[in-house]
Every structure is written in C-alpha cells, then in structure tokens.
Structure 1
Amino acid sequence: MYGKILAPESDTSGYLDVFIFWNQFPKLLILQPNEERKSWFSIISVSQIKSKALESYKLGTEMTKADELFNSHIASWETKWKSGNIDLDGDVYLSKAIHASMYYILSSLPPIMSEEFPFYGLSPGSLATGGRSHDDDYHGHVFWDMEIWMYPPILAFHPSLARKMLLYRVQCLDEAKNKARRHGYRGAMFPWESAYSGIEVCPGAVYANNEQHITGDIAWAVQQYLYVTRDVSFLTNDGGWELIYNIAVFWESRVDYDDSIDKYVINSVMPPDEYHHCIDNSVYTNVIATISLMLPYFAAKLMKNKVTVPEQWRHIADNIYIPFDEKNKYHPEFDGYTKGSEVKQADVILLGYPLMYDMPKDVRKNDLINYAKVTDSFGPAMTWSMFAIGWLELKDFEKADKIFKRSYAHIQEPFKTWSEVPDGGGAYNFITGMGGFLQTIIFGYAGIRIYSDHLEMNPVLPYETNNFVLHGVHYLGSAFMLEISDTMVTVTRTTKNENSPELHLVQNDKSIPLSFEKSVSVPREKLIIQP
C-alpha cells in the first residue's frame, strides 16, 4: 500500500509519503476443538522510503521462513528484561499485568542507540491505530501523558530511553516558542497535542489554548531526569538548558501579580480535570509552574554556574498563590471550586505524588478523601493508581490495595492490553493507564522517591505477595537490584559506569557503603541511597 497522510499538520509540513508492506493476516484467530496451540505470524513494514520498507519486509519474511525472527525477538527481550524488570512471588495475575504493561510501553519506544528510527513521542493509544475517531486513538498525538504517566517507569529502569523522550521536546522547542508568541507570551508554550512537526495539532481550541500545565509537566520530567543522572551533556550539548530556560521564561510572562493578596496568580487555564476550563489558579498548574521556575537554578549548579539565572524567577516561585481551604484543610482544585463538584480524573491528588508538594499528612488525607468521592468512576485508567499511591504514603494499606484493584477493570484479555475506560471503551491499548499502574508498583509499593540529592525508598509488599524484586533501578550511573521481603530489604549494586560516585545506604543514621556486586540487607523500613 502506498499513499500520503490524509492531512498535513500545517501549511508547510506537507503530505508525507507512507509505504506499507504486510502479509495477509486472518481477522479471527481460531483454535479447532482438537487444537491446544497454534501460532500465527504477522509481518508489517512501514517507512517514508519505499526501498527501506520493502527491504525490511523481505528481511522479516526470510527470517521467519528460517525460524529466526521470533527467536531473535525472544533473545532481545530476555536481554531487555535483565536490564530492567519487576518480579513478584505470589500473585501471578499481577506479575503478568506488570510485565505486559512494561512490554507495551517499551514496544512503542525506539532502539536506544539507533538513529535510523526517528522518535516523535509516546501517544496515549500507543502506536496509533488510525481509522477511528480522535477520542478513541488520539491519532498518535503526544500529550502530558508521556511525561507524567509513561515516563517515570522508563526513567527508573531505562534512563537512556527517558532521555530520548525528553529530546523529542527539545526537537519541538522552536514551535513551542512560536506558540508562545502567538498567544502574547515569551519563552516556550508547548502544545497540548503535538506530533511530527511539533505544532499544536489538538482539534479542540478549548484544550489547545487553556491546558497549559503541559509546559510545566515537561520541566518536571527534566527535573526528575537530572536528579537521577546529573547528565550535564543533555543540558550543554543537546538543548536541555535552552528547553528549561524557555519554559521558565514562559511562566514568568504568564503570571500576573495580584496586589490584593500580594501573590502571583495564573488565570484562565484548564487544569488536568478537563470538566472545568477557563478557571483561575488551578492548584496543579500553579505548583507545576513553581517547579519550572526553580529548575534552572539546579541545572545551573550542575553546569558549575556557567549560565545566569534571573533571581526574579525564585521570587515568583516563592510567591505563587496556592489555593487552600483553611476551614476544611484541603486544596480546592481552583479558585471558586465548589466542594463536591465532579472531576474527570486525578488532579489535586497529584500534588502529593508525583509533584511531592510539601503538605501536612492531614491535608494529604483530606485531599484523597474529598476527591475520591467526586472523581468520575468512568474516568481514564491512570487515576486510581495515584489514589493508591497516596494511601500507601499514609500507610493505609487496606484502602490502597482496594483502590489499586480498581485498575484491573481496565485490563483486557487475553493479551493484557488496557482500555482507557473500565467498560472497554476509549483507546485500544491505553499505555497511559499502564504507566500509572507501573508507578503504583515502583513509587507506591516500593515507595521510591527521587530527590535532588538522594534516592529514598519506603517499601511495603503488594497484597498477596511474599516478596518482590526490582531489577535495574538506576541512580547516578549505577543500577541496583532491590529485593523486598516481609521483613527485609536487600540492595545490590549490579552495574556502574566510570563516572558513578561512591554511594551509601543510610538508615536510622547508619551509613553503609554500597560496593559493586555486594549485597546489603537492612530492615524493611525507610532507607536512603546517596553519594
């Protein structure tokens, strides 16, 4: 099949060529009564260049005939699992769901070292299915889903792939600057939906114009990456500094000073909860803006202060207005929010995690209680993972387990794909939901938190499991195996690069060196890994 895309993204992006070669595949996979097992092989090759598409198709066909292609996949995935994986002892269904979720996200990412496969970001529906409505498969567009939902599990196990995800945003920086100028702002204002060219491709103006927190979401992802890697080259050689600098410039131009409260405000936005729009002071947006404004200071320190950061950014960040209800001790979603109004999805509860906004435990609890009551039960899959993480933080394990199990309604058999909503509707293979699900395991039950100067862990066993192991958690150039049992945590430094610093495990004021390939076992309590 040969054709051109149906519609260009802009007047200048053009109608791109698409060449597709494939073998005919049955619409139904049927096992006869006397058959216990049967295999089908599907080969498809897609490229903008006909010769490449045909060459790849022929190679795949030849390897299939020689019984090499499938075996090569098995070998490659075995290598991948050894470098980053989660093993559970006890709950087989949960273990399969974890492996499937990681598989589908990784399958949508390019080879780490190859420049032959250009990468244009992760879409909520994974590799776009096409042929259906925008609401179903999102046309392969990239949203905040990539940074907030899919990115954290990839960063934990595969920081090189996380870097590629960030480089997509660097690639789109010029178009983000253009969008900011068109809206009367400075710096970079990233589109709510982007794709090949980096321009705004969202079909709904209300989202494209108002859901501006995505610009801060990108800064948050860079922050987490720098905390884990200290990758100065990303900042100095690959456009990372220009990216975060222009994001901070945007927020500086976006805030207004309200002298009646002596605070900076951000008016007329849409929060993550898309049931409300054109509201003032979204608590999530305002917090993500503070993170964006403070990030350049951390980056500048990594760069040995070879760049200058305006002190005004710190002043704005310290004085952004954060809505808070003193009477009820909780965070209203925005100015004028009516307590009890329905919300679409996780919003305010994201303050505690992943944003790690500092608040008392009773406020965190009140946020969870208030918004659990009013969150749409048919909202997108990733929402309940964040509620589960919140209750795990507060050590209400029974409530966390109960909410976590709600995720299972989105898992579709037999291949453990995910539907966007629990009745099977929405995106066919909703990797956004998978990302949230994996975060519950890594950052919920394993209790991992990434800070500017250390990695924290406060684990608890998932329900119905005897122990679980995280293989290949990366921090500062080293990888670790983290084994969690009912009473103990064992940390083993399995790999390290030449620039990895000496690291220590700290628990209850006791510091233990983490030597290469030597295991350290401590009680299953809060622990810290730090230089």
Structure 2
Amino acid sequence: MEDAQPDPTVFASHSLPRDPRLLATVTNVYLGTRVYHDTLHVSGVYNGARGSTHRAVLPSPLNVRLEAPAGKGAQLTQTFALDTNTGSFLHTLEGPSFRASQRIYAHRVLPHVLAFRVSIARVAVGSRPIKVLLRSAFSPESPDLDLHLGPEFQGFRYLWGLTLTPEQPGGPRQEVHMLWTPVPPALTLGEGEETRTWDFLTVVGGSRVEAQACLNEALQLQATGSLYAIHMQAWAQFWTGCSLDVAGPLALCQAVRSSFYYLFSALPQPGTSGHVSHGLSPGGLSNGSQRECYWGHVFWDQDLWMFPNILMFHPEAARALLEYRVRTLGGALENARALNYQGAKFAWESAASGLEVCPEDIYGAQEIHINGAVVLAFQLYYHATQDLQFFREAGGWDVVSAVAEFWCSRVEWNPKEKKFDLRGVMPPDEYHAGVDNSVYTNVLVQNRRNLEIYEAVTSPRGPAMTWSMFAVGWMELKDPSRAQSLLDRNITNVTEPFKVWTENADGSGAVNFLTGMGGFLQAVLFGCTGFSSPHRVTCRGVTFDPLCLTDISRVCVSGIFYRGNRLNFTFCKDSVMVEVTAQAWPGAPQLEAELWPSGAQLPLLLGHKVSFPCSAGRIQRSLP
C-alpha cells in the first residue's frame, strides 16, 4: 500500500488498510469514532460494573460508504486521505464525467456534532443526472445501552437510552440522546446542475434538551453555509498557533504531524473554556469498547506521557486534565482506605468515579507510581502557569496534599538501613510484581550507565514509548547517532496509510495509541530542544539545550506557553531563534533568554525575534 502523495500533513492512499483497527479516527473533546466503523463513543459515558466498566457503544450514523453505481467502478479512481490541516477524512471518487467526495469530521467548534458531507461535481461537458450510492449498515442497537427510538425532531431521527449497568453499585446510569440526518440510499446531481453538496449531521447530548439545542446551533451555521467553514477555520487557527515541525526525512515529519494531530484533536480548541474533561485513555475516545484498548480507562499514560506535551502548548486543556484528577479525588481516597493507607491512591485504571476499575487487582494495588505521575503533572502545571487560583480554590492543593499523605503512610522504616522503604510495588516493568524499593517508584532519575544497562536488557516487544525515552536520554548526553537510531526505531509503531500508532511494533495492543504518540513527541519536543534538561519546566524557567540529530537539520516549535507568554523557537545546528508572539493576559511578565555558560541575558520583547549562536540557556522572567 503506497501513499498517493508525499505530504507530511495529508496522509493519502488509493486503498484502505486490511486491518480496520488502523482506519483514521475523527475525534473532538466530546465524541470520537473511527471512519467506516459502526461505533462511536461519548466522553465520560461508561457501562459495566467495576473491572468490567468500558466505554459505552453508541451506534454510529457516520458509518456510511460512498460508492459508484454498478458498472461504473472500473472507470473510477478513488483516494482516501486524512487531512490534518482541516481535521477531516476525505474519500474521493473521480471518473471521466464527475468527481464525488465524502468528507467526515468531528466538529472542532461544536463538540456535540459529528458530520459528513457529500459533494458531486461535473468535470466534463454534459447535463445528464449523476448518481452516487451511500452504503449504510446503521442499526439502532447497542450492547451497552437500553436504546429507544423517539419521535423525529425537525426531520432528524431521534434515539435515546440509558447505560445498562453503573460503574459502582447504586451509582447513576448514564443518559445519552442522539439526533441524526436520515441517510438515503443514493444522491443525484440533477440534470443541468454543475455541483451540489449535502450535509449529514449526528448530534449527541446528555439530555434531549441539550441534543436539540446543539442541533439547532449546527443548523443555523448550516443555513449560512458556514458549518464546515468554521470547523476548517478553527483547525487553521490551531496550526498557526501550535505546531511542532522538523526538517528531516518524510517518515519522521509525518510521524510528528500525525502524533500532534491525533493527540490534540482529542482536546478543546485553544482559547475556549468550559469543557469538562473525563481524562485521556491510551486509545483515545475513538476506542475503548469492551475488551478493546484498555476499555477506555484512564492510566498514568495521561499524566506522564501525554500531559507534558499538552501543557507546553495548551494550558487550558492541561488544567482540564488536572480537574479530572480533582473530581475523582474522592475515589482515590477510597482506594487508599481499601488498601489500609491514608491519603489518596489514584487508580491504576479509572473511569468516571476514580475508584479502581482495573480488571486485575494486583495492578491496582501495586502500581502506585501513578501517584508520582499525577503529582508531577500538577507540579509542571504550576511552574508553567503560576495558576495559584487552581491550587487555592479549585482543589489542586487537595490532590497534592492527599498524595503526600499516602506516601507517608505507605513507606516502612528500615531500622537496619536507617531509611524508609517502599515495599511490594510493581514498577513500570510489569513483568515483575512485589518489588521492594523499585528504582523508578523511589526516584524517577538517571544517566549514561543506566541507559547502557537498561537499553541492553529492555524487551524488544516493549510498548511504543520505550525507545523514545531512551532517545531523550542519549540526546541529553549529546550522542546524536544513538538518539537517532532509537527515534527511527520508535516510528516503526506508525502504521500505513493513515499514520495510526499501535502499542507494539508488530501491530498488536492498543491502536490510535496516544501514549506512544505522547512519548514520541516528548523525544522531539523535549529531546531535540533540550527542554527536558533538567525537568522540562521549573519555577526558574524553561531550559533549552538543543541538539540536531543526524537526520534533522532544524526543529521549529510554535506556540510554547510560559507564564502568560507565547513563544516560537527555531533550533538549527548553528543557531537559535526565539520570539514572543503574544501575551495571554495584561501584565504577563517580560521574559529574557539567559545563555550558558556566558551568562548573557537577552530581553525577549513582544513581536521581536532574537537570534544567537546555538547554546544552552533558560527562558526566564526578567528581573527589574
């Protein structure tokens, strides 16, 4: 299977992957699905008790295929493309007399809306009607919801229901309401018409009133011809303000772009607020049905692998992810009590309540390093934003103090060594349980000798983020050759043609693996720039110590957020350029670049580019 064009932002092919798990996803902060899949998921809607809880399956009206009438297929060329510029999936049929296309997207501005639009255009002289077929296998059924067809609303079909089983005994059954455009078996460009477009909407809400209100909002935009236009404009605005680009091999550029797209498509548009986050699961919102992609549960993957990338570009979304931990603190407190400890023990796998929902007890009891990942995310957020209101008034400090209380009750005094031990844990190396004083759980550090030792004994079947972290380590030690080889090894988890990541390089495990994408992005974002030395973002500033790898001549980072300032960076082999492009609020502190080892301090004024020879340094607040 070959790409139809070598574009790092558009992933196109003349055929679909044989494995349907590898189809492109279309997702926003509230809804997610894979193209041509019979299932969609709603953020935060789970079915099943405790360890059986999983994302509830809602039948997808978007599962529609565009086809040519019988006898016309041999004359047609078809292309399938994921266009990250517009956040949409495009299927095109082109023949001697017409071009037909179907564009599928999760609306960027209206998160309760999924849509597809079909267009037919003449490309040759003629006036005869042109017909295309729409193949739909939609059935209003779900294994997870008690669904009922209701009366139509303004010509839209209506389906509603409740989940079958609450996550916890006595808990609420969640409610879902869906309205959608009926899909006809065929569409016809009439005699004499040159072009025509049809829009098909799917709207989901937590109540009938909410679904109808969201539909009316979408219909108002549709009536002015701007429904798709404002979605497209929002994506254009996103890419203008937030991006990570490398000058290097096409495969690497595509891996960076696809990772950025799939991860950030699951988040609200920057600059918007009011969205409630239910956490990010390893396979994203498009996956997570029963026995699929960790059932849609939230792990440490969110806090350690995804969060650092999100924080650097999108602090509002980063805060929303932390608010998920605040809302589920009650469950974390109960988890600790169930294990006879004080404070809060965040679930190894959580869903809506924060209570442990891991199907196997040993992981929930022993993988306590999740607490370290959660608090690290809170710490990084504070350093980047100085958002004291979140910690004082919105529950941030409650989480930090409760985790500290857990650690104090979890350690055991070792009189012989005269130190505290953490005994009986399972580190990230899940091949071993009951470990005393795990290096990772106790510390979270290390250097060259550790890289040499652990790289040699790390399982080649490890998950996607394995080699990205080794690459970061070698970049910190200024070994570009070894770092490049590990980065190249990392992208073997990227599948064709839509650059969907799998958990393991052989294609097994979770798909649309946001965890692996997060690890890979950290290798580029924090490794090539040196933002990772020593701790990405600290109370003193953002450190940089760039290193261009063997195959990378330039790294451009646009939209880095630090203390109310937006910054662009360009790192080349011989030079660094920094520019403050915007300030998020009046009174945002003025920044400067302090260069090492010279100690030179360069003011960073709004709208002014500052260039200097390639060196290490720190972006920090200017002192009066």
Query: TM-score, with normalisation over the residues of structure 1?
Result: 0.79
Matched, 1:427 2:510: yes
Report the CA distance between 1:94 and its aligned residue: 2.4
Q: Contact 2:543–2:618 (CA<8 Å) still a contact in 1?
A: yes
Q: Secondary structure at the match of 2:453?
A: helix
1:4 aligns to what? 162
Q: Secondary structure at the match of 2:354?
A: coil
1:194 aligns to what? 350
Report the CA distance between 1:142 and its aligned residue: 0.6
The 1:20–1:204 alpha-carbon spacing in structure 2 relative to 1, beyond 3 Å, is farther
1:501 aligns to what? 589
Q: Secondary structure at the match of 1:51?
A: helix
Residue from 238, 243, 257 that aligns with 2:399 = 243
1:386 aligns to what? 469
Report the CA distance between 1:2 and its aligned residue: 3.2
Report the CA distance between 1:224 and its aligned residue: 0.9
Report the CA distance between 1:124 and its aligned residue: 0.5
Note the alpha carbon deviations across 1:282-329, whole angstroms, 9 max, x for none: 111112xxxxxxxxxxxxxxxxxxxxxxxxxxxxxxxxxxxxxxxxxx
Report the CA distance between 1:128 and its aligned residue: 4.5
Matched, 1:397 2:487: no
Q: Contact 2:483–2:549 (CA<8 Å) still a contact in 1?
A: no
Q: Contact 1:229–1:475 (CA<8 Å) still a contact in 2?
A: yes
Matched, 1:487 2:574: yes
The 1:209–1:128 alpha-carbon spacing in structure 2 relative to 1, beyond 3 Å, is farther
Runs of 4+, deviation exceeding 6 Å: 39-42
Query: TM-score, with normalisation over the residues of structure 2?
Result: 0.67
Residue from 539, 544, 547 that aligns with 1:460 = 547
Per mean C-alpha deviation after superposition, the further-off stretch among 387-396 and 372-381 is 372-381
Aligned residue identity for 1:92 = L
Report the CA distance between 1:240 and its aligned residue: 0.9
Q: Secondary structure at the match of 1:418?
A: coil
Report the CA distance between 1:162 and its aligned residue: 0.7
Per mean C-alpha deviation after superposition, the further-off stretch among 1-10 and 490-499 is 1-10
* RMSD between superposed Cα atoms in Å: 2.4
Distance across 1 between alignment mates of 2:612 and 2:271:
37
2:524 aligns to what? 441
Higher-Rg structure is 2
Note the alpha carbon deviations across 1:130-184, whole angstroms, 9 max, x for none: 4451xx3222211000000000111111112111111110111122112212211
Distance across 1 between alignment mates of 2:220 and 2:504:
40
Report the CA distance between 1:42 and its aligned residue: 6.8
Within a 5 Å distance, the mapping from 1:173-322 to structure 2 comes to 173-287=329-443
Aligned residue identity for 1:483 = T
Distance across 2 between alignment mates of 1:151 and 1:190:
16
Aligned residue identity for 1:269 = V
Note the alpha carbon deviations across 1:322-368, whole angstroms, 9 max, x for none: xxxxxxxxxxxxxxxxxxxxxxxxxxxxx3xxxxx3x5xxxx12211
Residue from 289, 299, 315 that aligns with 1:143 = 299
Q: Secondary structure at the match of 1:190?
A: coil
The 1:425–1:67 alpha-carbon spacing in structure 2 relative to 1, beyond 3 Å, is farther
Q: Secondary structure at the match of 1:473?
A: strand
Report the CA distance between 1:186 and its aligned residue: 1.1
Note the alpha carbon deviations across 1:463-510, whole angstroms, 9 max, x for none: 433322111111122111101122100111112232422322111211
Note the alpha carbon deviations across 1:4-30, whole angstroms, 9 max, x for none: 32431101322212233456899xxxx
The 1:195–1:378 alpha-carbon spacing in structure 2 relative to 1, beyond 3 Å, is same
Within a 5 Å distance, the mapping from 1:317-332 to structure 2 comes to none
Distance across 2 between alignment mates of 1:121 and 1:398:
36
Residue from 593, 600, 609 that aligns with 1:510 = 600
1:102 aligns to what? 260
Q: Secondary structure at the match of 2:459?
A: coil
Per mean C-alpha deviation after superposition, the further-off stretch among 276-285 and 110-119 is 110-119
The 1:509–1:159 alpha-carbon spacing in structure 2 relative to 1, beyond 3 Å, is same
Q: Secondary structure at the match of 1:417?
A: coil
Q: Contact 1:22–1:45 (CA<8 Å) still a contact in 2?
A: yes
Report the CA distance between 1:188 and its aligned residue: 1.0
Matched residue count: 445
Within a 5 Å distance, the mapping from 1:95-134 to structure 2 comes to 95-111=253-269, 117-133=275-291
The 1:424–1:101 alpha-carbon spacing in structure 2 relative to 1, beyond 3 Å, is same
Q: Contact 1:5–1:15 (CA<8 Å) still a contact in 2?
A: yes
Report the CA distance between 1:237 and its aligned residue: 1.3
Aligned residue identity for 1:500 = A
Distance across 2 between alignment mates of 1:284 and 1:132:
31
Aligned residue identity for 2:570 = E
2:229 aligns to what? 71
Q: Contact 2:270–2:314 (CA<8 Å) still a contact in 1?
A: no
Q: Which structure has more helix as a fraction of its residues?
A: 1
Q: Secondary structure at the match of 1:423?
A: coil
Report the CA distance between 1:59 and its aligned residue: 5.3
Report the CA distance between 1:92 and its aligned residue: 3.4
Show structure 2 runs of 5+ residues with no match.
Answer: 1-158, 185-196
The 1:259–1:149 alpha-carbon spacing in structure 2 relative to 1, beyond 3 Å, is same
Distance across 2 between alignment mates of 1:65 and 1:408:
44
Q: Contact 1:125–1:427 (CA<8 Å) still a contact in 2?
A: yes
Distance across 2 between alignment mates of 1:424 and 1:65:
44
Note the alpha carbon deviations across 1:230-261, whole angstroms, 9 max, x for none: 11111111111111111111111111110110
Q: Contact 1:111–1:117 (CA<8 Å) still a contact in 2?
A: no
Distance across 1 between alignment mates of 2:514 and 2:181:
27
The 1:90–1:131 alpha-carbon spacing in structure 2 relative to 1, beyond 3 Å, is closer
Report the CA distance between 1:428 and its aligned residue: 2.2
Distance across 1 between alignment mates of 2:495 and 2:463:
15
Q: Contact 1:270–1:279 (CA<8 Å) still a contact in 2?
A: yes
Q: Contact 2:273–2:316 (CA<8 Å) still a contact in 1?
A: no
Q: Secondary structure at the match of 1:95?
A: helix
Aligned residue identity for 2:488 = K
Within a 5 Å distance, the mapping from 1:51-70 to structure 2 comes to 51-57=209-215, 60=218, 67-70=225-228
Report the CA distance between 1:421 and its aligned residue: 1.2
2:312 aligns to what? 156
Distance across 1 between alignment mates of 2:251 and 2:229:
25
Matched, 1:85 2:249: no
Per mean C-alpha deviation after superposition, the further-off stretch among 61-70 and 403-412 is 61-70
Q: Contact 1:128–1:140 (CA<8 Å) still a contact in 2?
A: no
Aligned residue identity for 2:571 = I
2:155 aligns to what? none
The 1:129–1:207 alpha-carbon spacing in structure 2 relative to 1, beyond 3 Å, is same
Distance across 1 between alignment mates of 2:376 and 2:587:
25
The 1:40–1:416 alpha-carbon spacing in structure 2 relative to 1, beyond 3 Å, is farther
Q: Contact 2:480–2:548 (CA<8 Å) still a contact in 1?
A: no
Q: Contact 2:234–2:269 (CA<8 Å) still a contact in 1?
A: no
Show structure 1 runs of 5+ residues with no match.
Answer: 27-38, 288-350, 352-356
2:112 aligns to what? none
Distance across 1 between alignment mates of 2:301 and 2:198:
33
Aligned residue identity for 1:48 = G
The 1:2–1:462 alpha-carbon spacing in structure 2 relative to 1, beyond 3 Å, is farther
